[in-house]
Amino acid sequence: MRFTVTDDSGLIALVDHHAYPTFVSGDWTYETLFAHFRSAMAARSLLVWGTGREEDWVVDVVVDGPAPRGGFRRALGPIRVTAGQLHVTSYDSLTMAAQFADEALPQPHQADAVLDLPTGLYGCEVVQLVDPEAPYDHDRPQPDFVLTLTTAQAATPWRDPPWHEA
């Protein structure tokens, strides 16, 4: 499965939008939002990571297949599927949902960024294939990120988003 995520903030995410509590506050701060992210990552309803720059990222999702060898960097985290779906999204969508109680995920413009999966706990290996500091080639055939989901892989919840500097 392939998705394109428009990232205007240097963070993208994989979320169980059925279990993730979206609303934080009409006047959330960076600190309260990231505390919310930490809580959701501990509850295994969210994985959020840094991208290295703003871009339209191509994200491939592989279920029970091999993770790509190599890559620029990788991180392994757990995510739970509670209602048969996960959603690939942007930090911008997470912040809109955090600020407005009536803003649901996925947002209408990301309705096609949902994948169907059996319920259960998955290990998700996030591999960024290319150095984000390298010149971006919009015509290359490979994705920017590969997310490999497997039920056989145990993972420790993330405390903070990998590759993100506050």
- What integer pLDDT is reported at residue 62 of this predicted model? 96
At residue 44, the pLDDT reads 97
Q: Please, what are the domains in the chain?
A: 2-150 (2.60.34.30)
The structure's pTM equals: 0.94
Helix, strand and coil content of the chain, in percent to the nearest 5, comes to 15, 35, 50
Residues of the chain predicted below pLDDT 70: none
pLDDT at site 134: 86
Pairing of β 55-63 and β 2-7: antiparallel
Predicted local confidence at residue 137, as pLDDT? 77
Average pLDDT for the chain? 93
**Residue 109 confidence (pLDDT):** 92
Q: What is the pLDDT of residue 153?
A: 76
